[in-house]
Structure 1
Amino acid sequence: MFDLTGKRAVVTGASSGIGQAIAVALGQAGANVASLYLAGREGADEAESEIRAAGRDTLFVQGDTSDHEQVEALASEVERRWGGLDIWVNNAGWLLIRSFLDMTHDEWHRQLATNLHGYFYGCRAAAARMVPSGSGRIINVTSITRVQPVSQATAYVTGKGGVHGLTTSLAVELAGHGITVNAIAPGATDTGLTAGAYTPDVRAVYEARIPVNRIAGPSDLAGAAVFLASDEARYVTGHELVVDGGMTLNGDVGFDETPSST
């Protein structure tokens, strides 16, 4: 099960964190993997090395997913090099912690340029190549902040909410072409993106609220992507798979046990 041998995949932002873990997992499941990543050549080299060690080909290009021409260029090169495209994972993003009233217009637009528009460009590039072939898997990385928002992250939460809408609407529109569109919603996850935000106090709150008692690592998300990219998920579309250790369903507030009435 979950065999991706011969599949051709793109994972944006695969030089670190969740994107890197997903790219390596897809490669180890048998896919050739390409990526457009903004920074972190060392991390990109590490991911490529692991994928090639699994006997698969790689194509990692440094660039910016908020630039539609760069996204399209990568998709075209994947098509030229490997003859087609089967899997596209939109993952690249960044997190700005800033109060709503202090945020500048440029900061707002920069957040959405990567966290929303970049996903639109990726979906467009993927769908344009998958529709003619009659099959494909598009996976968007969202966040549990869409349903459990945090303060001082309005632009980030807004972008993730938009990606959820993009996912569900495309799932309906592309289903007749044999393409599934799904999302993975991580909970608190240790990555370079969150390193500055996860102070000791924040970590303590997360560890107390997450039922499995720990913050996720990037590898905890990788299996969900392999599943959604595989033939075993062929009847799953428009779904947001929450991978958060139970955080969003935890309603515990520390009640004492009800005394016995006997």
Structure 2
Amino acid sequence: MNPLHGKTALVTGGSRGIGRAVARRLARDGARVAVHYGSNEQAAQETVAAIVAEGGQAFSLRTELGTTDDAERLWAAFDEHADKLDILVNNAGILNDEPGIEHVTRRQFERIFAVNATAPFFVTRLALPRLSDGGRIVNVSTMLTRGWAVPESISYAMSKGALDVFTSTLAKQLAARGITVNAVAPGVVDTDIHQGRIVGEARTYLASQSPMGRLGTPEDVADVVAFLASEDSRWVTGQWVDVTGGTLL
């Protein structure tokens, strides 16, 4: 079955981690996938190659998010390859290293909001003329915005909190076009963004916080995104979907 046959999807930050898993899953479901990346061209090409090897269709495009005119440049690159959009996954994001609020500089704070909140806002704004009626928007949030306060990630959680508000508000506006807007909220996912952060006792502790007894995988998140990108999710919009393996229970 190819539930997304004939669809075109864009996954920001699609070269690694959760983004790569999402891009590959959407391609397996039949979508032609635009794999966006910021700087790691090799990773993006590896993702595209993996999709093609599995019989899918994909192309890559480079734009550094969080910079002036980033959305305009991203869509100009997209338009060179495709003439429509059906699915937008706002996945790209960054973390700060911050032991607490007293260690967060204005530059760090503004940078994390530029990438995690401002970029998805304007990428989506410019996506709307291209997005088909009945299309799908999926934003990647975090469990840190609800019920799991971590002082060491205060600016990251705040930026994702803005994305949550964006999700519910935009869902109401776009409903008349049959476009759904939802957010997925992963818990701790075993990706390279956490390299050097989750080791030893910390890894054991975090795995124990889920009643499932393990960390999440990128595929755990990608499969939920695939549902929200499909026709099966047509009656789900404006939702914050917990993808934490029960960590918030």
TM-score (norm 1): 0.89
Q: Which residue of 2 aligns with 1:163?
A: 163
Q: Which residue of 2 aligns with 1:144?
A: 143
Q: Cα offset for 1:76?
A: 4.0
SS of match in other structure, 1:182: strand
Q: Which residue of 2 aligns with 1:9?
A: 9
Q: Cα offset for 1:162?
A: 0.5
SS of match in other structure, 1:82: coil
More displaced 10-residue stretch of structure 1: 45-54 or 176-185:
45-54
In structure 1, the gaps of 5 or more residues are: 250-262
Q: Indicate if the aligned counterparts of 2:63 and 2:74 stay in contact, CA closer than 8 A.
A: no
Q: Cα offset for 1:196?
A: 2.9
In structure 2, the gaps of 5 or more residues are: none
**What percentage of aligned pairs have identical amino acids?**
36
Q: Indicate if the aligned counterparts of 2:61 and 2:77 stay in contact, CA closer than 8 A.
A: no
Q: Which residue of 2 aligns with 1:101?
A: 102
Whole-angstrom CA distance in 2 between matches of 1:58 and 1:15 = 12
Q: Cα offset for 1:204?
A: 1.9
Q: Which amino acid in 1 is paired with 2:177?
A: H
Q: Indicate if the aligned counterparts of 2:134 and 2:179 stay in contact, CA closer than 8 A.
A: yes
SS of match in other structure, 2:130: helix
Q: Which residue of 2 aligns with 1:153?
A: 153
Whole-angstrom CA distance in 2 between matches of 1:222 and 1:203 = 22
SS of match in other structure, 2:241: strand
Whole-angstrom CA distance in 2 between matches of 1:179 and 1:76 = 23
2:56 aligned with 1:56: yes
Q: Which amino acid in 2 is paired with 1:113?
A: A
TM-score (norm 2): 0.93
SS of match in other structure, 1:157: helix
Whole-angstrom CA distance in 1 between matches of 2:108 and 2:80 = 36
Q: Indicate if the aligned counterparts of 2:65 and 2:71 stay in contact, CA closer than 8 A.
A: yes
Whole-angstrom CA distance in 2 between matches of 1:100 and 1:128 = 39
Q: Indicate if the aligned counterparts of 2:62 and 2:74 stay in contact, CA closer than 8 A.
A: no
Q: Indicate if the aligned counterparts of 1:138 and 1:180 stay in contact, CA closer than 8 A.
A: yes
Whole-angstrom CA distance in 2 between matches of 1:2 and 1:160 = 32
Q: Which residue of 1 aligns with 2:81?
A: 81
Q: Which amino acid in 1 is paired with 2:178?
A: G
Q: Indicate if the aligned counterparts of 1:12 and 1:19 stay in contact, CA closer than 8 A.
A: yes
Q: Which amino acid in 1 is paired with 2:92?
A: A
Q: Indicate if the aligned counterparts of 1:12 and 1:65 stay in contact, CA closer than 8 A.
A: no
Q: Which amino acid in 1 is paired with 2:231?
A: D
More displaced 10-residue stretch of structure 1: 65-74 or 93-102:
65-74
SS of match in other structure, 2:9: strand
Q: Cα offset for 1:127?
A: 1.9
Q: How many residues are treated as equivalent by the alignment?
A: 247
Question: How big is the alpha-carbon RMSD for the aligned residues of Structure 1 and Structure 2?
Answer: 1.6
2:169 aligned with 1:185: no
Q: Indicate if the aligned counterparts of 2:112 and 2:155 stay in contact, CA closer than 8 A.
A: yes
SS of match in other structure, 1:248: coil
More displaced 10-residue stretch of structure 1: 164-173 or 149-158:
149-158
